[in-house]
Amino acid sequence: MGKVGACGAGGARNRGWATAFGASLVAAVGSQPIVPQSIEWAPGNSARVAEWVRAWRGCRPWLAEFMERGERDRSVPVVNRLLARPRPWRCCISDGANRAALDTIAFAAAKAADLIQVRAKEMDAGRLLEFCFAARAACQGTGALLLVNDRLDVALAAGFDGVQLPAAGMPVGRVREQAGAEFLVGQSCHSAAEVAQSQADFALLGPIFPTPSKLAFGPALGLAALRQAAECAVPVLAVGGVTNGNAAACIGAGAAGVAAIRAWQTGNFFSRQPVE
């Protein structure tokens, strides 16, 4: 992992660039996580991010070379590449954005995870962008599709495949207007009704089973809710308390796949055909 980390951050020089770029990004789109209202009233945000990317790449040839080495394949829309994959899909969600999270991401990518979501809700744009560059480098050469939680601006600047939105977050249609139809959009939902209303490419539904991080939000949804959500048009991945021991029950209830944080951290990742 030493080389991956060095490549991802680009050594001292690349880290300095990412920090400077992050500061520029914050100045362009704001230091706080983008909320629906700010995007709705400032539709030029993504254009300003793209301008910063072009400017920094243009004046730093070594950066352009780095970006080209890690460039994501855009010849086929990302959603088509996801839908063409055999099910069940497997999604790794990072627990923050630190070295341990980067190790887990690299492990998941090496084990052929279909989706990797960078989740660091409280991190500022500059540090999150730097981590996303490192995550992209760690996944280079694998088939993992990369998303970042909520931050469309960072997802675009980092060259990620998509963004994972909260159910009550930025409208999916607004994302497509700014990022293009080929951009992958996931949505986190907490009921079958929210899944039914979603216009995203896929939905995470949870928590399906009890999990320590969600106890304060009420009881788990259970397999019955998952079964109901799976009847909707949007492919659904089960999340929340999902383990290699209960993943098969989720697939049996109609889930298109499973997602987790701890299962990947502990190495108890899901096989392509999960077994009880």
Q: Domain range spanning residue 52?
A: 2-189
Domain assignment of residue 260, yes or no: no
Domain assignment of residue 266, yes or no: no
Domain assignment of residue 177, yes or no: yes
32: domain CATH number is 3.20.20
- Amino acid at residue number 248: A
pLDDT bucket at 122, cuts 50 / 70 / 90: confident
pLDDT averaged over every residue in the chain: 79
Domain assignment of residue 264, yes or no: no
What pLDDT sits at residue 168?
87
Domain assignment of residue 13, yes or no: yes
Number of domains observed in the structure of the chain: 1
Domain assignment of residue 204, yes or no: no
Domain assignment of residue 57, yes or no: yes
Domain assignment of residue 194, yes or no: no
Comparing CA positions, the residue from 273, 1, 35, 244 lying closest to residue 134 is: 1
How are beta strands 162-166 and 145-149 bridged, if at all?
parallel
Are 152 and 186 in contact by the 8 Å Cβ rule? The answer is no
| 131-179 pLDDT tens trace | 999 999 999 999 999 999 999 999 999 999 999 999 889 999 999 999 9
Q: Helices (H), strands (E): how many in the chain?
A: 14, 8
